[in-house]
A and B are shown apart, each in its own frame.
Chain A
Amino acid sequence: MSKALLDMRGLTINHNGRNLVSEIDILVEAGSVTALMGPSGSGKTLSARASMGQIHPAINLTSGSLRFPMRDDRDWFDGIVNAGPKAQNRLLHETAALRGPYVSYSPQMASSALNPGRTLGRQLEMAIMRRAKSTDNLAMSVRRSLDEVGLPHHASRALPIELSGGMCQRAALAVAVASHPQLVIADEPETGLDPVLTRGITELLIRVCKERKCGLLLISHQDETVARIGATIIRLPGVEVV
C-alpha cells in the first residue's frame, strides 16, 4: 500500500469556547483526489489550511495529529495542541519549508489570489524557485508551466488584470503547480466561473495532478463536479448560521 501524502486525524479547532471544526480526518494519497465538501462556515478552508500548518493565532488547536507520511513520520501537531498562539506561530514557521516544494494551495477567487502588480511570468518564476530541485533554465520552465495549463506564452508578460476569468483561474493553477508540489489543495476553483469553465478548469486540475502523480485535495460546493471526477468525499457537518 502506498504511503499517504497527507494524514490528518481528529482535527478540532476551537474559538471562544465554540468548536469551529471537530474531529475531522483527512487522508490524501498520491495520484488520488479527495473532495472536501460541506456548507459555508463548516470549516472547509480552515481544515485545509490547518493541514498545511496554517492555524491563525486567534483560534485554538485543541486536538489532532498531522503527518506527511511520504516525507517523514513526524507528527507536526505534537507540542502544538492546546499550547496556544505562540506554538501555532512556531508551527507556521516550521511548515513554511513544506509549502511550495511539498504542498501548495490555490485559494478561492483566482483573480484576487494573483499579485496584481507582477506579471504572470514573474509570479511563475517565483513559484519555480521554490522547487525542491532547482532549475537551470527559468524562462524554459515558465514556458512549460504555461503549456501545461494551456495558456499562450505571451501570457507571461501579462498582468492579472489583462487576463479573463478563465485565464486567471488557469494562471493560478499554473502558479500552484509550478513549484512541483506532491500535494495540491484547490479551494473552490469553480468560484465565480460559469458551468462550462468550471468543467474545463476541474478537468485541467485533475489532468495536471494525474500527470504529475500528485495528490489533490479539492474543496468544492458542487455535488455534480465531485461525482463526475470520482473523488473520495469528506463531508463536514454544517453549523447553524442564519
Chain B
Amino acid sequence: MTWFKRQSGELANSGEKKVRTEGLWVKCESCRQIIWKKDLEENLNVCPKCDKHFRVDARTRLAQLLDDGQYELFDTDLVSTDPLKFVDLKAYASRLKQAQKDTGLNDAVLNARGKLNGRPVIVSAMEYAFIGGSMGAVVGETITRAIEQAVESKTPILIVSASGGARMMEGVISLMQLAKISAALARLDEAKVPYISILTDPTTGGVTASFAMLGDLNIAEPGALIGFAGPRVIEQTIRQKLPQGFQRSEFLLEHGMLDAVVPRKQLKPYVARALDFMAGPVGTSAN
C-alpha cells in the first residue's frame, strides 16, 4: 500500500515551463570551457577564453568581412549535373541534395560584392559544411566567374578557402577546375588587380595546390590546417607520427609559405591595409 495515491489521471503538462538550453551553450574543443553561444558570436566565433578560431559558414564570413554585414550575392544559381553519375556507398546525387538542404546553398561557395572599409571588393567564400567544401565543376566555375568579374571591373578580390580539396565524386572534372581557376588568376595577375587569399581551417588538397596559394598575399587564420596532402595520408606514407603543429598556419608561416597569420578580429583591418598598399587609399584609384 502506498501512503499517497494520485486521485485522478496524469499531471497536467504545461509546455511553457520547459527550459530550453539546447544550442545556447557551446563547448570549446580546444580549452573545453563552456561558452555562451551569444558571447562566442559577438567574438566573431573565436573562443573568448583560449582564442580558438571556430569554423564559420560562408554567410557569416561574408558578414564579418564586409561593411555593416551588407553584401550582394552573385552567380549563386549553379548546380552540379553529376557528370559521372557517381555512386559509392551512397549516390552523389543524394549527397548533393542532402548538402543543399542542410546548408541552404547550391554548392560549396558564395560569391559576393560588398565594401570593405568603404572600398568595393569581390569575395568568394567557401562553405566547409557543403561536402567538406570540396571543389567540383560548380565551385570551379563560380570562383572563376568571381575572378573574371574582378578583372573586368578592376575590383580587388578576396577568396576565403575552407575545403578538403577536389571533389572526388566529379573525378577528373574537379581536377580540371584547378587549371581553370589558375589560368583565370594568371589573367588577374596581368591586369594587376589585387588578390588576397585567406586560408581558413581546413584548406587542403587541390584548393591549396591552386588558388589558395596564388594570392598576392596568402594569409591564414591562426591554427588552421593547411597542406597539400592530408595528415593521415602523410602518416601512412612515411609510417611515422607527425610532429606537433605540423601543417598548422604557424608551421607554414615558419616555412615561408604564408605572408601572415592574422587573428580573425584583425583580419578586416589587415586586408584593408593591404588593399590600401596595392590599390591606393579608397576613392583615389579606379575604384
**A and B from one assembly?**
no
